[in-house]
């Protein structure tokens, strides 16, 4: 059953200050909606519980990408089309440009925003693994001001985040310090375009004298939250990327992930594909010249 538009309130304050003051006055009462690619799907199918919509789409303060000396700041309201086409994203964060290009169709990329993708907190979303390996920081804002937290601390459990009911995700900060590192990402879905991932992976790293000097790995759709693979990284540290090391890393990965069976895949398939993707990543890593 489709929702009845008469049941919904819709507020368009038009400015960040206006939106925050509404959220502060009635925290938890208003559902922020930007491009609508998530909220409107729920609405169309009658599954949208919220009845009061707070329109963020026309808030210009959320829509800028600004390049600093050491980092890139992406406004929460930036669309994936904007992100994938931005020259600094392509130059410093090719994994994010790729993830943006993987997110839905062109029409959806023209509407879907990065803050929406993050706050919606689907463990299968395409951009989180790239954000995790680049150690992104989130800037959250309320009427009381802004605070910054590591993106790695944002997802608490399935669909639960550190965002407070009176806050919005103002911007994502990405440090540029990884620019010369090896980077890799891959996604497995039912078809190439417009498919939600069965498993997706991102990794960056540096080799030194044939050994792993440092590596950051993250996976999507294998746990209740987008997952940074801290234990697998530890196994790889200082190791040569031999077949033995790859097998050790795959064992560590198997212990870190907890995939489920759902409409898109079985848990067993996800386990196998996650291991295969890690192997492919590490083979490319070993073959890379970065840090040599």
Partner 1 sequence: MSLGSFSLRINGENRVVEAYPMERLLDILREHLGLIGTKEGCGEGECGACSVLINGELVNSCLIPVAQADGAEITTIEGVANGEDLHPAQKAFLACGGAQCGMCTPGMIVATVNLLNKHPHPTAEQIREGLNGNLCRCTGYMRIFQAVEEAARTGSEK
Give the interface with partner 1 as residue ranges (CB under 8 A).
2-3, 5-10, 12, 33, 35-37, 40-41, 43-45, 53, 55, 57-58, 81, 104-108, 110-111, 192-194
Minimum gap (Å) between residue 245 Cβ and partner 1: 36
- Render the burial of 107-120: b for 16+ CB within 10 Å, e for the rest: ebbebbbbbbbbbe
Nearer to partner 1, 53 or 281 (CB): 53
Q: Which one, 43 or 181, has the nearer CB to partner 1?
A: 43
Rg, the chain, Cα only: 20
Residue 104 Cβ vs partner 1, minimum distance, rounded to whole Å:
7
List, in order, residues 6 or more apart from 61 with CB less than 8 Å away: 15, 16, 75, 170
Query: Minimum distance from CB of 218 to partner 1 (Å)?
Result: 25
Residue 185 near residue 162 (C-beta atoms within 8 A): no
Nearer to partner 1 (CB atom), residue 45 or residue 208:
45
| Residue (81 or 204) nearer to partner 1, CB | 81
Instruction: Compute the least distance from the CB of residue 85 to partner 1, in Å.
Output: 10
Helices 267-287/243-256 angle, 10° precision: 140
The residue (of 55 and 214) whose beta carbon lies closer to partner 1 is 55
How many other C-beta atoms can be found within 10 angstroms of the C-beta atom of residue 288?
17
Q: Judge whether 220 and 118 are in contact, CB under 8 Å.
A: no
User: Rounded to the nearest whole angstrom, what is the least distance from the CB of residue 17 to partner 1 in the complex?
Assistant: 20
């Amino acid at each position: 059953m489709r929702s009845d538009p008469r049941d919904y309130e819709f507020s368009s304050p038009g400015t960040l200050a206006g939106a925050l003051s509404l959220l502060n006055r009635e925290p938890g009462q208003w559902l922020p909606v930007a491009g609508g690619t998530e909220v409107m799907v729920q609405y169309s199918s009658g599954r949208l519980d919220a009845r009061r919509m707070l329109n963020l789409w026309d808030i210009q303060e959320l829509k800028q990408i600004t390049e600093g000396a050491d980092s890139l700041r992406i406004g929460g309201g930036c669309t994936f089309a904007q992100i994938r086409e931005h020259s600094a994203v392509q130059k410093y964060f090719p994994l994010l440009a790729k993830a943006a290009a993987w997110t839905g169709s062109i029409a959806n990329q023209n509407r879907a925003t990065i803050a929406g993708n993050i706050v919606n907190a689907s463990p299968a979303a395409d951009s989180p693994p790239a954000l995790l390996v680049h150690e992104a920081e989130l800037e959250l804002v309320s009427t009381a001001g802004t605070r910054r937290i590591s993106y790695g601390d944002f997802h608490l459990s399935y669909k639960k985040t550190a965002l407070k009911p009176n806050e919005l995700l103002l911007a994502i900060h990405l440090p540029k310090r990884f620019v010369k590192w090896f980077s890799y990402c891959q996604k497995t879905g039912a078809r190439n375009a417009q498919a939600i991932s069965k498993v997706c992976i991102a990794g960056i790293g540096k080799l030194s004298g044939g050994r792993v000097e440092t590596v950051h790995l993250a996976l999507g759709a294998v746990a209740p939250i987008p997952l940074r693979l801290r234990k697998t990284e530890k196994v790889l540290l200082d190791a040569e990327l031999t077949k033995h090391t790859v097998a050790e890393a795959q064992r560590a990965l198997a212990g870190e992930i907890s995939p489920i069976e759902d409409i898109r895949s079985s848990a067993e398939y996800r386990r196998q594909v996650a291991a295969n993707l890690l192997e492919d990543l590490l083979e490319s890593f070993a073959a890379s010249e970065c840090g040599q």
